[in-house]
Structures are given as C-alpha cells and as structure tokens.
Structure 1
Amino acid sequence: MKKLFPIFMFALLSIFVVSCDNNDDVVVQEPVATDIARMRDVTGTLTAANTYSINTGINILSSDVVLVYRNFNSNLPNTTPVWQLLPKTFYLSSGRILEFNFLFDPTNVEIYSEGNFDLATMSPAEAAEFKTNQTFRIVLIPADPAKNANKPDFNDYNAVVKYYGLTEPK
C-alpha cells in the first residue's frame, strides 16, 4: 500500500497540472465606431413649412437602435434639461391631442409632431411650449447581443446614459 500511495499522488497532481493552463479562448476586440453608443442634440422650430418635423442624418447599421428624447423645458433659460422619451402624447384643452414621435432608418432620423387638430391653430403660449426652439437628444445604440440581457429602462434617460457610458454632446 505504501508503494501505491506515491503513484496515486503523482497521478492526482498530473491531472491538476494538465487541466490548468493559461490559454484563454476569450478574444478581446476593440470596438469599432459603429459599436459605440453615441448621442447628439438637435434643435429646431416645428412649423407648417417643415411639416412640423426635423430631419437629421445619421450613420448606423440596420440592426442598431435609435432613441429620441425631448427636452421638456427647452424654452426655459438656465434650467437643467428634463428628457422625455418619444413618443410622447400631450392632452391639450378642448380635447386636442398633440404627439411627438420619430422615424428612423440607417441614414436619417425624422422627429415630428402631429395632432388631432390643425397645429397652426395653437395659441402663442402653446406654440412657444411645443413648437418653438425644441431640443431633442438622439441616442444611437449599437445592436450588441451581449448587452441584451440587462438592458436599461429606456424611459429613464439617466439609466441609458450610465449604462452606455455616454457623455453630454458638445
């Protein structure tokens, strides 16, 4: 039995030596520009001349995602921005409904407003709040299957910024 003990120990140790190596199968890739979440601001006035829309060019893959937030207090000077995810519906007086929404494809984002009434009939105060100098933040998010498991709540602007490590546009 004493002669078998060293052979047994040698066999046990050789299993550990063979099974432990330093070769990782993990491949680390540097992100390409399209793999990085980006954001930028767009400001404009929604008028009948531009069909109550703002268009801006982008460059994303067809599998990527676009989020658009509206600065709720765009027209208030010296205030901290409050970002609302689009689409967003507002219920105005007399049963009027105003909605902000957007469409996108790999090369363009169109942000628009529409309502169940003629937007040209808005009062000056309503026009100042909903049409004049509106600021929108466009967030371009790459389709990353590794991040799909624990996506942030896209309604929470701060959670999206933190999750994707975004910085304020300049």
Structure 2
Amino acid sequence: MKKLVFILFIITASVLVSCEGPMGPMGPEGPAGGEIIGTTFEFTDNFTAANGYEVVFNFRDNGFDPYESDVILTYMLWQTESGLDYWRPLPQSVYFNSGAILVYNFDFTADIPNDRIVDMAVFLDGDVDFSTLSSDYTRNQTFRVVVVPSDFLSKANVDVSDLNSILNSPEIQMKSLGKIDLNTSIDTSLEIK
C-alpha cells in the first residue's frame, strides 16, 4: 500500500510540475541600463498673507506626472557661504528668543485611484505671527524638490537628510528640470544628466 501511495504521489507531482499556462504579455521596457530615474527641480517664491503663507506646485499643470508611490523629498536653501549652498531637509524649525517657533514644512496630495501625485505645497507653520516676520524669513525662499521612485530608497544606501547623498548615488539617474518659475509652464523634455 505504501508503494502504491508513493507511486501515485510521484505521478501527481510530475503532472503538476509539468503544467504550464500561456505566456503573458510583455511588460513595459524599463530605463536603459536598468537605472532608476528620479527628477529634481528648484523654485524660489515668497510666503505672503495673499497666498496664505503657502507656495503650491501643481505637477500636472507643469507637465510632470509622478506616480503616487513615488517619494517627494524637499530641501530648503538654508544659507550660502563662501560660494557653497547649504541645503536642509524639510521640515526645518527656527526658534526665536521670544520663545516663538517658525516651521518650514511641506506636504503633497495623492490621487490614489489614479496612482498619481497631484501637487505639493511648502508652507509656514508654528506659533509665530507670520505677519511680523522679517522678509529674511518670507521672501525669495529657494527649495529643491527631489522625486524618486520608492524602490530607489528601499534599495540604495542613501541618507535622505543629505541632498548630495541622493543626487550623487550611483543607483539613480536624475532628470533635472532646472529652476522653475511657478507662474509659467515648464518643458519636461529636458535631457537626463
């Protein structure tokens, strides 16, 4: 009896292993060389009472359509010294002698059913009265946005708090859209650098 069960088991296993269905359709071709491609751009704008101390960037209005699964990283040009730019990841806080706190922060809106990120906003937060801030805190503030596929962050050995760690990673090829004027549309057909 044991031999019969063993023989039936071998025959069943052989039949199941040899079963094969039709081949599925080919998937879309990935980037050349298998690199992960991210996108980076900069913008400079003002925080005012008129814009609610918030600067909004609409991806679709600017011809850029990131996936909902992409990661949006935002950095602020904190200072320039001796010709070098110092970038800090958001959120960033400023503590005043009065005890008040100013926070530069950001968020983004995801359209999950359509698998897209719609827009992002950089805004002022904290308990300080924004209307009393000097123009050093509200005018001509420059931000660099880096959009990367989530796969990149899970596979690459990068420090997201260090902009150069991402931009110089050999695991990703960045497409630069350059400096963007938020009041005009951009051409996203720029070369990958």
So what's the TM-score if we normalise by structure 2? 0.62
1:46-85 matched pairs, under 5 angstroms:
46-58=47-59, 59-73=65-79, 79-85=83-89
1:66-145 matched pairs, under 5 angstroms:
66-73=72-79, 79-105=83-109, 106-122=117-133, 127-144=134-151
The percent of aligned pairs where both chains have the same amino acid is 29
Q: Where do 5+ consecutive residues of structure 1 fail to align? A: 1-26
1:155 corresponds to 2:156: no
Aligned-residue offset at 1:114: 1.5
Inter-partner Cα distance in structure 1 for 2:153 and 2:42: 25
CA-based RMSD: 2.6
Inter-partner Cα distance in structure 2 for 1:147 and 1:46: 31
Three-state SS of the structure 2 residue aligned to 1:155 is coil
Report if the CA contact (8 A) 1:41-1:136 is conserved: yes
Inter-partner Cα distance in structure 1 for 2:145 and 2:40: 5
Three-state SS of the structure 1 residue aligned to 2:98 is helix
User: Cα deviations across residues 82-116 of structure 1 (Å, max 9, x unaligned)?
Assistant: 11000111111200100011011201010001220
Instruction: Name the amino acid aligned to 1:30.
Output: G
Inter-partner Cα distance in structure 1 for 2:38 and 2:54: 24
User: Cα deviations across residues 6-54 of structure 1 (Å, max 9, x unaligned)?
Assistant: xxxxxxxxxxxxxxxxxxxxx994329xx62010001101011111111
User: Cα deviations across residues 44-87 of structure 1 (Å, max 9, x unaligned)?
Assistant: 010111111111122211111000000012xx698422110001
Inter-partner Cα distance in structure 1 for 2:54 and 2:149: 25
Structure 1 residues 147 and 42: alpha-carbon distance in aligned structure 2, compared to 1, 3 A threshold = closer
Inter-partner Cα distance in structure 2 for 1:77 and 1:147: 30
Three-state SS of the structure 2 residue aligned to 1:148 is helix
Q: Provide the residue aligned with 1:36 in structure 2.
A: 37
Structure 1 residues 104 and 151: alpha-carbon distance in aligned structure 2, compared to 1, 3 A threshold = farther
Q: Relative to total residues, which structure has the larger strand share, 1 or 2? A: 2
Three-state SS of the structure 1 residue aligned to 2:150 is coil
Three-state SS of the structure 2 residue aligned to 1:152 is coil
Larger radius of gyration: 1
Q: Provide the residue aligned with 2:113 in structure 1.
A: none
Inter-partner Cα distance in structure 1 for 2:81 and 2:45: 16
Instruction: Name the amino acid aligned to 1:90.
Output: V
Inter-partner Cα distance in structure 1 for 2:47 and 2:153: 35
Q: Where do 5+ consecutive residues of structure 2 fail to align? A: 1-26, 60-64, 110-116, 180-193
